[in-house]
């Protein structure tokens, strides 16, 4: 039987480094173990929450229920024409999968190097960076459906992917756990260098190779984003809001320098810019604050509570609303 741990500290299981406890905690290496954990959860009528890398969750209090953490981390491949289908278990460190793709010269996810977290979470919020989103390469997702007591395979088309969004955040939320994700990567060179300074950065390193792209992404990330091992954070705390054309034109007329990006029939506005413009960049109150190099990132300087970070986020949301009449939403799950 899988071990059920009581009063588990979650401090090292969330990248904010918030010091909370969970009343129960269990890890699974395979489906049988996961089934056992769910049996226990149901017998004891417990709330449950899947937590892998903990890079997208803000705990504001102790968790009453059972935290379920994946330990499975196999990577297997299958080849079909110029594609390699790489299936990685949910508990694979995201960067281990990207490293695997770089080592084997498999194109597709190199721009996503350096994102904290595990593979199992990558489809949930459709992780994205430097012009690429996970959905661009996801082929399928194996999801353990609690009610069916079995695995359902969703093809990418079934996942309703959107900007930091998917079916796993909506219809399938609380219905089960992602077990593995299959990425379809290409042996054909396919560099995507349209984002900001990425092209220059790669060219400065010499040839356009998958490794040079990944290294350039890391350099850009390091120049803006804090390392959660050094400064507690959870990447972008907020999503970039989507405006309709009229709203975007109005904003551009007032602030010609505002960064805007086309997004289907909407326009995405850089929330980091709005937050900086409103004067929050580098702000600190006690041990929580706004990162001084990227205003979209909230940080824990040491002993901040989750409640303090949540309060700061609410103040920022309200201020942006007052100053720009724009509603920004959190990207992070607040528990």
CB 220 within 8 A of CB 129: no
What's the min distance (Å) between Cβ of 32 and ligand EPU?
A: 34
Q: How far apart are CA 193 and CA 88, in angstroms?
A: 26
CA distance 70 to 29: 6
- Nearest distance in Å: CB 276, ligand EPU: 4
Known active-site residue 331: yes
Which CB, 91 or 228, lies closer to ligand EPU?
A: 228
| Binding segment (CB under 6 A) for ligand EPU, from list 28-36, 151-159, 178-186, 232-240 | 232-240
Residue from 242, 281, 308, 324 binding ligand EPU (CB under 6 A): 281
The CA distance from 285 to 236, in Å, is 19
The burial class, CB within 10 Å (0-12 / 13-18 / 19+), for 327 is exposed
- The first and second tokens of residue 325, run together, are 């009449």
**Contact between 335 and ligand EPU per CB under 6 A:** no
Return the number of the residue (88 or 217) whose C-beta is nearest ligand EPU. Answer: 217
Sign of torsion over alpha carbons 183, 184, 187, 193: negative
CB closer to ligand EPU, 2 vs 236: 236
The interface with ligand EPU within residues 260-279 (CB under 6 A) comprises 270, 272-273, 276
User: In the stretch 173-212, what mask flags binding to ligand EPU with x, by CB under 6 A?
Assistant: ----------------------xx----------------
Q: How far apart are CA 35 and CA 58, in angstroms?
A: 27
Contact between 91 and ligand EPU per CB under 6 A: no
Q: How far apart are CA 254 and CA 261, in angstroms?
A: 17
Tell me if residue 78 is catalytic: no
Nearer to ligand EPU, 48 or 273 (CB): 273
- Residue whose structure tokens are 């954070």: 233
- 11 catalytic? Reply is no
Q: Which of 33, 110, 133, 331 is catalytic?
A: 331
Sheet bearing 242-243, strands edge to edge? 242-243, 266-269, 260-263
Give the chain's radius of gyration (CA, Å).
20
Binding piece for ligand EPU, criterion CB under 6 A, among 90-98, 152-160, 241-249, 294-302: 294-302
**Does residue 150 touch ligand EPU according to CB under 6 A?**
no
Nearer to ligand EPU, 25 or 283 (CB): 283
Nearest CA among 96, 105, 121, 112 for reference residue 180? 121
3-state secondary structure of 25: strand
Query: Which of these is catalytic: 122, 133, 164, 305?
Result: 164
State which residue, 276 or 307, has the beta carbon closest to ligand EPU. 276
70 is a contact residue toward ligand EPU (CB under 6 A) = no
d(CA 259, CA 268): 9
Instruction: Please identify which residue in 129, 172, 181, 299 interacts with ligand EPU, judged by CB under 6 A.
Output: 129
Rounded to the nearest 10 degrees, the angle between the axes of helix 198-205 and helix 210-224 is: 120
Number of residues that bind ligand EPU (CB under 6 A): 20
49/195 with CB nearer ligand EPU: 195
**Shortest distance in whole angstroms from residue 279 CB to ligand EPU:** 11
How many other β-carbons are positioned within 10 Å of the β-carbon of residue 44? 11
Interface pick for ligand EPU out of 51, 239, 283, 310 (rule CB under 6 A):
239
Cβ partners under 8 Å of residue 309, min gap 6 = 16, 18, 58, 60, 288, 298, 300
Q: Is 24 helix (H, G, I), strand (E, B) or coil?
A: strand
Q: Which residues are catalytic?
A: 164, 236, 331
Q: Which residues bind ligand EPU (CB under 6 A)?
A: 129-130, 195-196, 224-225, 235-236, 239-240, 259, 270, 272-273, 276, 281, 294-296, 331
């Amino acid at each position: 039987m899988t071990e059920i741990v009581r009063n588990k500290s979650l401090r090292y299981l969330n990248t904010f480094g918030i010091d909370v406890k969970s009343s129960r905690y269990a890890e699974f290496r395979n489906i049988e173990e996961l089934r056992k954990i769910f049996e226990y959860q149901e017998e004891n009528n417990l709330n449950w929450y899947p937590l892998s890398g903990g890079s997208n969750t803000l705990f504001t209090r102790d968790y009453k229920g059972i935290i379920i953490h994946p330990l499975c981390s196999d990577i297997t491949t299958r080849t079909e024409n110029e594609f390699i289908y790489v299936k990685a278990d949910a508990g694979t460190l995201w960067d281990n999968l990207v490293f695997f793709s770089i080592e084997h010269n498999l194109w597709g996810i190199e721009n996503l190097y350096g994102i904290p977290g595990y593979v199992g979470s990558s489809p949930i919020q459709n992780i994205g960076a430097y012009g690429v989103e996970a959905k661009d390469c996801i082929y399928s997702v194996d999801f353990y459906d609690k009610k069916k007591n079995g695995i359902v395979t969703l093809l990418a088309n079934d996942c309703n992917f959107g900007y930091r969004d998917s079916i796993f955040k909506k219809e399938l939320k609380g219905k089960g756990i992602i077990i593995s994700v299959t990425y379809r990567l290409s042996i054909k060179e396919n560099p995507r260098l349209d984002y900001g300074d990425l092209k220059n950065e790669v060219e400065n390193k010499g040839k356009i190779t998958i490794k040079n792209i990944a290294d350039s992404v890391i350099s850009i990330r390091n120049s803006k984003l804090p390392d959660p091992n050094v400064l507690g954070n959870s990447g972008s705390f907020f999503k970039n809001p989507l405006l309709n054309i009229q709203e975007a034109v109005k904003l551009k007329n007032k602030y010609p320098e505002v960064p805007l990006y086309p997004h289907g029939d909407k326009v995405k506005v850089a929330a980091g810019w709005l937050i900086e413009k409103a004067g929050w960049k580098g702000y600190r109150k006690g041990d929580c604050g706004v990162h001084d190099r990227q205003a979209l990132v909230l940080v824990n300087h040491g002993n901040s509570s989750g409640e303090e970070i949540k309060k700061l986020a609410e103040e920022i949301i309200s201020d942006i609303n007052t100053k720009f009449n724009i509603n920004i939403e959190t990207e992070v799950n607040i528990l």
